[in-house]
């Protein structure tokens, strides 16, 4: 896959993306307390944008601390954004939107799509969970599914957004497991799938090699990459 986008998996559902123009984007930056995140990735040296899928602490993670340190934009669903404002996120940093909505930045855009999951933050309702479609100008489309199980909208998203890369939760228990994740890949039709949200805690028993085997069974056109936490895969 030819691309000027760079991407790292940082453990759990956290990703670091670098756009062709050099914008540094973090998705669900659960870093400092994440047992899967390597020490060298727990303290970023630059962030321009933070994108959040939902309000659970293993996804919001270090957002408030990082936003204060880097004065970066934080893109989140409306209710979650408002809760973060109450806890110190400035009005200038907040980018709030809702499902079906797209926000445009320097050389990429972000669309909030559906995910089948709950969402709360610090004991308060944080709106509905979502997935993120990140489209880089004249380059690839990256789909972070967030926390979810399988649902029929995925085929529609594949047809509309034609993502090149999909990050798929496979841990089971709180999300779908390996087999459902593989069927999602068939529905979405991305060229590359990266498993996430597994192994961080004992309860997340999903096996990435089992996921790879199911993907091969259901959709030969999708390649599976299983990066180590902290490893660059694009």
Looking at domain 6-224, its CATH architecture is 4-Layer Sandwich (3.60)
Measured CA to CA, the distance from residue 45 to residue 66 in angstroms comes to: 10
Q: What confidence category does residue 13 fall into, taking pLDDT thresholds of 50, 70 and 90? A: very high
Q: What is the pLDDT of residues 59-95, one digit of tens each?
A: 999 999 999 999 999 999 999 999 999 999 999 999 9
Mean pLDDT along residues 27-46: 98
Burial class (CB in 10 A: 0-12, 13-18, 19+), 82: middle
Helix (H) or strand (E) holding 141: strand 141-144
Dihedral sign computed on CA atoms, order 208, 209, 214, 216: positive
Q: Can you give the pTM of this predicted structure?
A: 0.98
3-class DSSP state for residue 187? helix
Dihedral sign computed on CA atoms, order 176, 143, 84, 127: negative
Q: What is the pLDDT of residues 171-188, one digit of tens each?
A: 999 999 999 999 999 999
pLDDT at 220 over 90: no
Measured CA to CA, the distance from residue 161 to residue 42 in angstroms comes to: 32
The percent of residues in the chain predicted with pLDDT above 70, rounded, is 100
pLDDT of residue 1: 85
Query: Taking a C-beta distance cutoff of 8 angstroms, is the pair 196, 169 a contact?
Result: yes
């Amino acid at each position: 896959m030819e691309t000027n986008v760079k991407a790292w998996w940082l453990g759990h559902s956290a990703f670091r993306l670098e756009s062709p123009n050099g914008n540094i984007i973090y998705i669900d930056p659960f870093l400092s307390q994440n047992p899967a995140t390597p020490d060298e990735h727990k303290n970023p040296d630059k962030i321009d944008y933070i994108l959040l899928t939902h309000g659970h602490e293993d996804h919001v993670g270090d957002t408030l601390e990082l936003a204060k340190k880097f004065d970066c934009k934080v893109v989140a669903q409306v209710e979650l954004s408002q809760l973060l404002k109450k806890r110190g996120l400035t009005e200038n940093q907040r980018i709030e939107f809702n499902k079906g909505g797209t926000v445009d930045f320097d050389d990429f855009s972000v669309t909030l799509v559906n995910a089948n999951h709950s969402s709360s933050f610090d004991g308060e309702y944080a709106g509905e969970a979502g997935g993120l479609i990140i489209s880089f100008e004249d380059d690839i489309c990256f789909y972070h599914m967030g926390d979810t199980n399988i649902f029929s909208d995925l085929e529609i998203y594949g047809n509309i957004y034609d993502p090149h890369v999909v990050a798929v939760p496979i841990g089971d228990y709180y999300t779908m497991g390996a087999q459902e994740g593989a069927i999602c890949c068939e529905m979405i039709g991305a060229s590359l799938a990266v498993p996430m949200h597994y192994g961080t805690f004992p309860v997340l028993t999903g096996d990435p090699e089992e996921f790879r085997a199911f993907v091969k069974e259901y959709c030969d056109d999708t390649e599976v990459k299983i990066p180590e936490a902290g490893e660059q895969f694009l």
